[in-house]
Amino acid sequence: MKLKQAIELDRKDSLKKYKSHFLNSKKEIYLNGNSLGKLPIKSIEKIRKTIDYEWGDRLVRSWDEKWLDLSRNLEKKLAKILGAKKREVKIGDSTSINLYQIVFSLLKSNLYKKSLISDSFNFPSDNYIIEGISSNFNIKNPTIINYSQDISAEINLIEKTIKKSPGILCLSLVSYKSGWMYPLKKLNDYAKKNNSIIVWDLSHAVGATHIDLKKTNTLAAVGCSYKFLNGGPGAPGFLFVDNSIQSKLENPIKGWFGHKLPFKFSDKYEAANNINKFDIGTPGVLSMVGMEAGLDIITKATTKSIRKKSISQSEYFISLINQELDSYNVKIESPRDPLNRGSHVTISHPESWRICRALAKGSKKYPKIICDYRPDKYIRFGISPLYTSFQDLYHTINALIEILKTESYKKIKKEKNRVT
């Protein structure tokens, strides 16, 4: 394993200039952008201006001067990243609330049979949402597809389930554990042929993969903005609804900002006749302001270039794991085909939790390395092409060798933190 190779790969990296657009620590390597993205430097300026001037000085006048247009402006930028039209994307609330709105409205619309399907790779809270909704429509239980292993979804099994029980599916484009990435267009087209629809959760994909919702015939999707979009903790979620079905859906939560004329203060609710119908309450201005810089950086870098580097880096990282860690009982728990893999690489080891904490602790021989643990045996390394370097990945492998060779992880307590 040669450091020279990593240095040369970094030298040739066309995206390396974007690392300086983020707040970086020289004392640690951050491989957790799949959980929380880094802070864009321009976000600091924007948030400070919002607090000091727009809130501190202009106060309520800022609604007319800027804040009422804030979400619409951000939606245009996000729509471009998603390959959607500007009036098909709504920013606000959380991923869970947005998923609730879409699934509930689809069930109520009678466009599809009242059947709910998900799989064991989906993020747990997504399945909580559809389980909760099912009782409102007398659906006995959502169908949860289980696979024979934990790395790759079995597409034939998804297709068989759709054919047997057509209706509404909820799937994560990139699985939160293994990083498995579903064939978006293939499944959308199959669903359509069988009078079904897939609502995609893009949380672990957007900002690190290339997504084109229109070209892949996607009709509905949700996602968050605090991971690879680098919107910050508490940044709002988003939803996408294709124009072809918007008029047929009714938001189950009739909120102030979903009204056609919210400042008319009418006693009668009239829903907006576009994507605005999915707005609920007053926009969270401070959390939205932090999104803009991240969206701008991604737009300049382009998602195609980001995806290209992501594949190159994950291939490099996996090759080093194979070369250096095989003898230490480390297993790769992510798909080997880069076309079926998002931007995080997962490994397993019987002592994954303590190894993860040993990395975070750092030592005289290696810097602090921030990644994350997922039960019961997984360590995820989030590759964020805008600020992850090949040398970061090289030094992470060296740290893992040191920890496993010396068994220094045994000094770490087995008790887990509240946030893992």
Q: Does pTM surpass 0.85?
A: yes
pLDDT tens-digit series, residues 345-363? 999 999 999 999 999 999 9
Instruction: Write down the pLDDT at residue 181.
Output: 98
Q: Specify the pairing of strand 168-172 against strand 143-145.
A: unpaired
- Mean pLDDT confidence for 27-31: 97
Q: How far apart are CA 165 and CA 2, in angstroms?
A: 53
Q: Which of 147, 175, 150, 172 is nearest to 160 (CA)?
A: 147
Instruction: Write down the pLDDT at residue 201.
Output: 98
Instruction: Write down the pLDDT at residue 420.
Output: 74
Instruction: Write down the pLDDT at residue 94.
Output: 97
Instruction: Write down the pLDDT at residue 377.
Output: 95
Q: Is 139 left (phi over 0), alpha (psi -120 to 50) or beta?
A: beta
Q: Percentage of the chain surpassing pLDDT 70? A: 100
Which residue intervals of 227-302 are DSSP H helices?
A: 243-246, 285-289, 292-301
Instruction: Write down the pLDDT at residue 417.
Output: 85
Domains of the chain from N-terminus onward: 3-30+302-411 (3.90.1150.10), 44-300 (3.40.640.10)
Buried b (16+ CB within 10 A) or exposed e, 305-335: bbbebbbbbbebbbebbeebbeeeebebbbb
Evaluate if residue 258 carries a pLDDT over 90: yes
Instruction: Write down the pLDDT at residue 183.
Output: 98
DSSP assignment of 390-414: HHHHHHHHHHHHHHHHHTGGGGS-S
Angle between helices 292-301 and 303-324 (to 10 degrees): 80
pLDDT tens-digit series, residues 125-167? 999 999 999 999 999 889 999 999 999 999 999 999 999 999 9
Other beta carbons within 10 Å of 106: 24
401, 36 contact by CB (below 8 A)? no
Mean pLDDT of the residues in the chain: 97
Instruction: Write down the pLDDT at residue 325.
Output: 97
Residue ranges of E strands in 55-107: 89-91
Q: Percentage of the chain surpassing pLDDT 90? A: 97
Report residue 155 as tokens: 């597409």
pLDDT tens-digit series, residues 33-74? 999 999 999 999 999 999 999 999 999 999 999 999 999 999
What is the CA 313 to chain-centroid distance, rounded?
A: 19
- The continuous run of DSSP H or E covering 107 comes out as helix 95-109
Q: How far apart are CA 286 and CA 67, in angstroms?
A: 10
What is the CA 216 to chain-centroid distance, rounded?
A: 18
What is the widest separation between alpha-carbon atoms in the chain?
A: 70
Instruction: Write down the pLDDT at residue 414.
Output: 85
Evaluate if residue 205 carries a pLDDT over 90: yes
Instruction: Write down the pLDDT at residue 143.
Output: 97
Evaluate if residue 419 carries a pLDDT over 90: no
Q: How far apart are CA 408 and CA 257, in angstroms?
A: 55
Report residue 184 as tokens: 């978006």
Report residue 181 as tokens: 């990435």
Q: Which of 90, 127, 367, 387 is nearest to 251 (CA)?
A: 90
pLDDT tens-digit series, residues 290-299? 999 999 999 9
> What is the identity of the amino acid at 188?
N
Q: Which of 32, 104, 410 is nearest to 254 (CA)?
A: 104
Instruction: Write down the pLDDT at residue 416.
Output: 85
368, 26 contact by CB (below 8 A)? no
- Mean pLDDT confidence for 357-382: 97
Q: How far apart are CA 30 and CA 27, in angstroms?
A: 10
Q: How far is CA 335 from CA 65, 115, 173, 263, 393, in A?
A: 49, 30, 14, 51, 18
> Which residue is listed with tokens 């009982």?
329
Q: How far apart are CA 343 and CA 174, in angstroms?
A: 9
Instruction: Write down the pLDDT at residue 86.
Output: 85
Instruction: Write down the pLDDT at residue 163.
Output: 97
Write the CB contacts of 198 (distance below 8 Å, at least 6 apart in sequence): 169, 170, 171, 187, 188, 191, 218, 219, 220
147, 154 contact by CB (below 8 A)? yes
- Mean pLDDT confidence for 2-18: 97
